[in-house]
Amino acid sequence: NFNAATNNWLTFNNSEGEGALALSGWKLRPDGYNNQFSNDNSQYYNTISAVPSTNFTNTVLQSPSFSTMGYPSVNLVFYHYYRDKNANDSIRVQASIDNGLTWSNVYLHTTGDVGGPSSFQQTTVSLDAFADQPAVMIRFNYHAVLAAYYWTIDNVNIIGIQAEPTYSWVST
């Protein structure tokens, strides 16, 4: 969750347009900001594209690196609310195992809202393709053309199922 005043997540804003860089980046927001209420009534990350004169919004919320070693099955679970304006906008979750040099889509949504302002939707995404890796990163990437709406993220968790230990006995 994002309940502390600061955290070790990184934010990037590659948006274009007057005021876009200052206003559209991922920011920690208090519960109730813009009439959005998290599933646990806590603060959350939010990125906004509804800024006049925004040509293009491209914002990234990136996790610190984490290990999935010893976990053959791994899921990403998060709550979110996405307000979609049109088919030019999209949200995606991506994963990397090479320190962010390359990213693979693990979730992509291009049409319609997800969740609601007071009913963030819980989403579970398989990260099995990134299991048993020493350094995995995920990122939430929001794309919008012109002034669109927003994406809000909260309560991000990585849940892994550990490998069963193997045993062998030798009789003496």
pLDDT tens, residue by residue, 90-120: 999 999 999 999 999 999 999 899 999 999 9
Asked whether the predicted pLDDT for residue 51 surpasses 80, the reply is no
- What is the phi/psi pair of residue 59, to 5°? -120, 150
Q: Is the pTM of this model over 0.85?
A: yes
The pLDDT, as a whole number, for residue 52 is 59
For 147, list phi and psi in degrees, rounded to 5: -75, 115
Q: What is the pLDDT of residue 60?
A: 94
Mean pLDDT is lowest, of 14-28, 69-83, 127-141, 151-165, for: 14-28
The CA distances from residue 80 to 118, 129, 154, 162, 169, in Å, are 10, 23, 6, 27, 49
